[in-house]
Amino acid sequence: MNLKAIAPKKSLGQNFLIDKNISRKIVSLLEINNDDKIFEIGPGTGALTSIILENNCNLTAIEIDERAVIDLKSKFSENEFPNFTLINQNFKDYNFEKSSEKPLKIIGNIPYYLSSEIIFKLLEADINIKCAVLTIQKELAERLVANANSKDYGILTLAMNMKANCKIEFNISPQCFYPVPNVWSSVIKISFFEKAKQIENYKEIMKIIRLAFNQRRKMISNTLKINFNKINYNEVDENDKAKIISLINKRPEQLIINDFVFLYNIFSNFSKIK
């Protein structure tokens, strides 16, 4: 691991994993099979890359740091590793191509400050993803798996619930990284639902969720007031009216994803979501 050639940059949120055993444990969660298509986010010094390439799989890695790209190309030459593709680009700007091919398995020890943005990008991607194994800040991991009526439950939790199951596999001590971060990390595994089982109208439902959580201590009768006011209750089924009444004076953290799906279906019958 060439830490001298790639001194960690604070501006890129770089904390390099230096524990080989932990690296192997992370990669094992992908359950790599021959000819799997793996996509690595931010390979850095290649802590995970080298282990992934021990398998007979196709690996594409995307790295923003030009120093790391030069180092990785010298370690994993095209002649020796023909199934390895390295892209020098910011992952935020990367466009996944729509594909009906074998689903991707995604992996990455990702910067803490970009973790939420990266996870949202994966959830919104219009591609076939089987799973994602990510190392993130422990605090964020706990938000992803939070239950309703808890302080950690929120927008990201509900977004995840629409597209996938998320599990915290294990935690990592700060001492396993260089430089040593001030927080513990968690390795999560996101197992994506098949397309048919994912909730439709993800982006529109997310609009409602974001509006509701914009002032999370207020009841949704206030935060979603514009949408509630456009309902013509004369056209609403009695069972649906009862459901609305049961929800309207609750706070957003008291609602599960099916409640927000229900509200979307009601609101969209009468107006565009605002």
Cα–Cα distance for residue pair 178/148, rounded to 1 Å: 36
The pLDDT of residue 117 is above 80: yes
Confidence of residue 270 (pLDDT cuts 50, 70, 90): confident
Question: Is residue 137 scored above 90 in pLDDT?
Answer: yes
202-268: CATH topology: Helicase, Ruva Protein; domain 3 (1.10.8)
Structure tokens at 95: 């466009």
39, 122 contact by CB (below 8 A) = no
Q: Can you read off the two tokens belonging to residue 129?
A: 């993803």
pTM: 0.92
Residue 14: pLDDT over 90? no
**Domains of the chain: which residue ranges?**
10-197, 202-268
Q: How far apart are CA 150 and CA 253, in angstroms?
A: 7
Segment 54-111, tens digit of pLDDT: 998 999 999 999 999 999 999 999 899 999 999 999 999 998 876 557 889 999 999 9
25-65: per-residue pLDDT in tens? 999 999 999 889 999 999 999 999 999 999 989 999 999 99
Element of type H or E holding 105 = strand 104-109
Residues in the chain: 274
pLDDT for 274 equals 64
pLDDT tens readout for residues 218-241:
999 999 999 999 999 999 999 999
pLDDT score of 160: 98
| pLDDT the model gives residue 35 | 86
Architecture of domain 10-197: 3-Layer(aba) Sandwich (3.40)
Reported as type and span, the H/E element at residue 33 is none
Residues 210, 79: Cα–Cα separation, whole Å = 48
Percent of the chain at pLDDT exceeding 70: 94
Closest to 214 in 3D by CA, of 162, 259, 252, 256: 252
Look at residue 2 and tell me whether its pLDDT is greater than 80.
no
Q: Check residue 195 and give its pLDDT.
A: 86
Contact, 148 vs 139, CB < 8 A? no
Q: What is the pLDDT of residues 141-191, one digit of tens each?
A: 999 999 999 999 999 999 999 999 999 999 999 999 998 999 999 999 999
Residues in Cβ contact with 61 at an 8 Å cutoff, skipping those fewer than 6 apart:
39, 40, 41, 43, 49, 72, 84, 85, 86, 87
pLDDT for the residue 229: 93
pLDDT attached to residue 271? 76
pLDDT at 5: 58
More confident residue, 19 or 99: 19
Q: Distance from first CA to last CA of the chain, Å, rounded?
A: 51
